[in-house]
Amino acid sequence: MKERLLEEEIGNLLRHHGLKIGIAESATGGMISHRITNVPGCSEYFEGSVVSYSNQIKMNLLGVKVSTIKSFGAVSSETSKEMASGIRSTMIVDVGLATTGIAGPHGGTPAKPVGLVYIGLAINGAIVSRRHIFHGNRNENKRSFSDAALGILNEYLQKL
C-alpha cells in the first residue's frame, strides 16, 4: 500500500503545482512509468517516457553527448543528468526523471557493481543526480531503483 500512496502523493504534488513530467528509463525498463500510470488521472501530469537501454537511444533521443558516454560511461552521474535534462527537453515538460544502472546479474565491475544506479532529476532550474547501490537480484534491484527514483522525485516536489 505504501507504494501506491507515494505514487498518488507524487501525482497530487505534480497536479497541485501544475507540473508535467517525462521519464527516461534505462535500468528500470519502464517500471517507473508503469507505477506512475497506475494512478487514475495521471494524464493530467504524465506526458510520456523513453526506455533508453542502448547508448544510441540515449544519444539520439535524449541528447546524451558521445563525450559523456566515452568519458564517464552510460552508468554515471553525468549520463543520468543529461538523460533527465534531455527527456525534459524532448517531452517539453517541467520535470525530467531518469535512471541508468546495472540491474544484474551480469555487467558489473569493481568500479560499477551490480545494483548500482544513478537517478537524474531536472526540475525547477536544477539538475541533480544521486547514486545508490542495492544488493538484490535483478527484479529486486529494478524495484529498488524505481522506489529510490520516486522517493527522490517526491522529496523535491515536497520542497516546491
In this predicted structure, the answer to whether residue 65 has a pLDDT above a threshold of 80 is yes
The residue type found at 148 is A
Residue pLDDT, tens place only, 103-126: 999 999 999 999 999 999 999 999
Which CATH number is 142's domain given?
3.90.950.20
Q: What is the DSSP letter of 26?
A: S
> If 0-12 CB within 10 Å is exposed, 13-18 middle and 19+ buried, where does residue 121 land?
buried
> Can you tell me the distance from the alpha carbon of 83 to that of 85, in angstroms, rounded to the nearest whole number?
5
Residue pLDDT, tens place only, 1-55: 455 589 999 999 999 999 999 999 999 999 999 999 999 999 999 999 999 999 9
C-alpha cell at 142: 529494478
Q: In this predicted structure, what is the pLDDT of residue 5?
A: 85
Q: How many domains is the chain built from?
A: 1
The residue type found at 2 is K
What residues form DSSP beta bridges with 131?
118
Nearest one of 158, 87, 90, 94 to 126, comparing CA atoms: 94
Q: In this predicted structure, what is the pLDDT of residue 4?
A: 57
Q: 102 is in which domain, residue-wise?
A: 2-159
Q: What is the pTM of this model?
A: 0.96
Q: In this predicted structure, what is the pLDDT of residue 1?
A: 43
Q: In this predicted structure, what is the pLDDT of residue 2?
A: 52
Residue pLDDT, tens place only, 76-95: 999 999 999 999 999 999 99
> Can you tell me the distance from the alpha carbon of 126 to that of 33, in angstroms, rounded to the nearest whole number?
22
Q: What is the DSSP string of 48-105?
A: EEEE--SHHHHHHHH---HHHHHHH-SSSHHHHHHHHHHHHHHHT-SEEEEEEE--SS
